Amino acid sequence: MEKYKLLILGLLLFVTNCGGGSDYIPPPIEDFPPVVNEVDSEALLALVNEARVNGYDCGTEGYFEPTHLLVLNDKLSASALSKTYDMAYSGKPFEHGSSGTKYDELQHSSNFSILIKRYYGCYHSVGENIGAGQKSELEVFKGWMKSDGHCRNIMASKFTDIGLAKVTHSDSRYVIYWTQHFGSKR
Please tell me the distance from the alpha carbon of residue 154 to that of residue 83, in angstroms, as a whole number.
18
pLDDT at 114: 72
**Is 57 in a helix, a strand, or coil?**
strand
pLDDT at 77 > cutoff 90? yes
Residues 6+ apart with CB under 8 A from 155: 51, 52, 55, 56, 58, 64, 67
pLDDT digits (tens, 9 = 90+) for 117-168: 776 777 888 999 999 999 999 999 999 999 999 999 999 999 999 999 999 9
Task: Give the number of other CB atoms < 10 A from CB of residue 173.
Answer: 14
pLDDT at 150: 97
Q: Report the mean per-residue pLDDT for the chain.
A: 80
Distance, C-alpha 165 to centroid of its chain: 8
Please tell me the distance from the alpha carbon of residue 63 to that of residue 51, in angstroms, as a whole number.
12
pLDDT digits (tens, 9 = 90+) for 37-58: 999 999 999 999 999 999 999 9
For 92-109, what is the mean pLDDT?
55
pLDDT digits (tens, 9 = 90+) for 3-42: 333 222 232 223 333 444 455 555 545 556 677 899 999 9
pLDDT at 180 > cutoff 50? yes
Read off the pTM: 0.79
Task: Give the number of other CB atoms < 10 A from CB of residue 146.
Answer: 11
For 70-91, what is the mean pLDDT?
90
What confidence tier does 1 reach under pLDDT thresholds 50, 70, 90? very low
